[in-house]
Amino acid sequence: MPTTKRCLTESDANRAIGGVPTIHYFDFQSRGRGQVLRLLWEDAGIAYEDIRYSFQEYPEYKKTRIAGMNPTGHIPVVELNRRILTQSYAILRHFARQLGKYDGETEEGKYWADAMCDIGIDWRTLFVNAFFSPQKDKTYPEHCETVRPRFLQGLETHLKTHDLSKTGPYVLGKSVTYADFVIYQVLHDEGLTQDRRKGMKDYPRLIQLVDAVESRPNVKTFLQSDRYLG
Ligand SMILES: N[C@@H](CCC(=O)N[C@@H](CS)C(=O)NCC(=O)O)C(=O)O
């Protein structure tokens, strides 16, 4: 049976987005595309209902409950105020606009946050393919040798050189955006934010971003809470 948990207390930010969202996602620790949504909600102080499916039970629910909400059968799916929201990155951008923050203030900033997010999307797709492959023993080490350093170096260079990013710590300098959570979460899921950032030692600008995200008061509280599952 999927588990359901209510997280945080309803706030003004819930009113700004129109209620308390319910997320349907895997019970995959604090990882995956669904976790990026939870991270944004935690940061914004948005109460949410967390429905988690084990990997074993998901195929059955995918054909029934999830397919009834999302014709592609993919998760995360969010229910909010009798609406169904699908596609995690579109959902992030939607909430950012509703909250009036997390996506930059100028057109140039919005473009740059979207572009950096899209690099995170490309990286995650390749990570998931390698990590969940039936030949994981071969594909994941290959990924870590080839694809992963390419994305790390690409993001590092962008962050160090783009006018909007180079002062840091975030993609848009001093203001956090949803793109920072997307980048943070793929680094986390690749196991690079742990062990004193050992796997990121050649990427100091990315370490700066990770440190800044983890130091945000609500994110810090979340990481120390029993809602954080590793
Ligand atoms: N572009 C979609 C991708 C959704 C997606 O691929 N979700 C994965 C989990 S992260 C999924 O549903 N996997 C189970 C399946 O394909 O059956 C999004 O960002 O929401």
CATH assignment of the domain containing 29: 3.40.30.10
Cβ(22) to ligand 1 under 6 A? no
The residue nearest atom 20 of ligand 1, judged by CA position, is 87
Query: How large is the average pLDDT for residues 11-28?
Result: 98
Q: What is the pLDDT of residue 205?
A: 98
Domain end marker among 100, 128, 163: 100
Cβ(32) to ligand 1 under 6 A? yes
Instruction: Find the domain containing 113 and state its range.
Output: 107-215
Q: Which of 63, 1, 51 is nearest to 26 (CA)?
A: 51
Q: What is the pLDDT of residue 110?
A: 98
Average pLDDT, the chain: 98
Phi, psi for residue 38 in degrees, rounded to 5: -60, -40
Q: What is the pLDDT of residue 187?
A: 98
Cβ(75) to ligand 1 under 6 A? yes
Cβ(89) to ligand 1 under 6 A? yes
Question: Are the C-beta atoms of 95 and 17 separated by less than 8 Å?
Answer: yes
Question: Do 45 and 68 have their domain in common?
Answer: yes
Question: Do 89 and 34 have their domain in common?
Answer: yes
Q: What is the pLDDT of residue 169?
A: 98
Q: 196-220: per-residue pLDDT in tens?
A: 999 999 999 999 999 999 999 999 9
- For 38, 91, 189, the CA distances from 137, given in Å and listed in that order, are 30, 33, 17
Q: Which atom of ligand 1 is nearest to the CA of 89?
A: 19
Question: Do 82 and 115 have their domain in common?
Answer: no
Q: The tokens of 227 are what?
A: 């809602």
Q: 134-178: per-residue pLDDT in tens?
A: 999 999 999 999 999 999 999 999 999 999 999 999 999 999 999
Query: How large is the average pLDDT for residues 84-113?
Result: 98
Please report whether residue 230 resides in a domain.
Answer: no
Residue 174: which CATH number? Answer: 1.20.1050.10
Q: What is the pLDDT of residue 40?
A: 98
Confidence of residue 54 (pLDDT cuts 50, 70, 90): very high
Strands annotated E in the chain: 3-7, 22-26, 48-53, 77-80, 83-86
Question: Do 167 and 67 have their domain in common?
Answer: no
Q: What is the pLDDT of residue 219?
A: 98
What percentage of the chain reaches a pLDDT higher than 70? 100
Question: Do 169 and 116 have their domain in common?
Answer: yes
Q: How far apart are CA 228 and CA 220, in angstroms?
A: 10
